[in-house]
Amino acid sequence: MDVPKINIQKILYTTDLSESGRHAFAYAASMAKQYQADLTVMHVVPAESEMDKRLIGYMPEELWEQLKKQSLQEARETLLGRKRDDAYIKKCVGDFCEEIQEAGPKEAYISYTVAVELGHPVEKIIKFAGDGGYDLIVMGSHGHSTFEDAMIGNTVRRVLRRAAIPVMVIRVPKDS
């Protein structure tokens, strides 16, 4: 039986800018270099948190929406450096990737594009991958049992279940 040739031309690497994302970037970059594939680094800024759904039952919806808009505006101003576009977030994501590459060997440098989306991470990743014609999604995962990791791990599990293309999950070593 002949082993089919895998042709990977476009890789979507998703990151929450955490240590697991840092570790997974090396795999995404290495695969992009090996296959001479285009690499896109994607970060999704969550538009609504699980906390929103729990807190809305404790106050009138109008008050909750007003508080949420105020908090979102303050967060947006902080993240975007008081700009109206996502250029600052894109710069942060780009700086994150550059920092990782600078720590490694110079011959391993790879070029990439940055995409920043606002919304539900799973929905945005699935849609972006499908619309962009990607061949592979690369994601990082801690693999611990903390609450924070359960939320991050939930995103990975849901992308795994819903993706129409292969998803590579990179586990961060336990000593990281």
Flag whether 166 is in a domain. Answer: no
> What pLDDT does residue 66 have?
65
Q: Are 93 and 75 found together in one domain?
A: no
Q: Distance between CA atoms of 23 and 158, rounded to whole angstroms?
A: 20
- Same-domain pairing of 56 and 75: yes
Considering the domain architecture, whether residues 55 and 69 belong to the same structural domain is answered as yes
Residue 59 lies in a domain: yes
Evaluate whether residue 33 is within a structural domain.
no
For residue 62, being part of any structural domain is answered with yes
Domain that holds residue 95: 84-112
Q: Which two tokens stand for residue 133?
A: 């014609």
- Please report, as a single letter, which amino acid is at residue 115: A
Give pLDDT, residue 175: 64
* 72 and 92 part of one domain: no
Whole-Å CA distances, 44 to 19, 84, 118, 131:
16, 17, 6, 16
What is the pTM for the complete model shown? 0.69
Nearest Cα neighbor of 161 from 117, 131, 122 is 122
pLDDT score recorded for residue 82: 39
Query: In one letter, which amino acid is 61?
Result: E
Q: Do 75 and 90 have their domain in common?
A: no
Q: What is the mean pLDDT of each run of 10 residues along the chain (176 residues)?
A: 90 83 84 92 73 55 64 50 50 70 62 83 95 96 56 79 95 70
> Does residue 95 lie in a domain region?
yes
State residue 173's pLDDT score: 73
pLDDT at 99: 75
| Residue 73 in domain | yes
Q: Is residue 163 part of a domain?
A: no
Q: What is the number of domains present in the chain?
A: 2
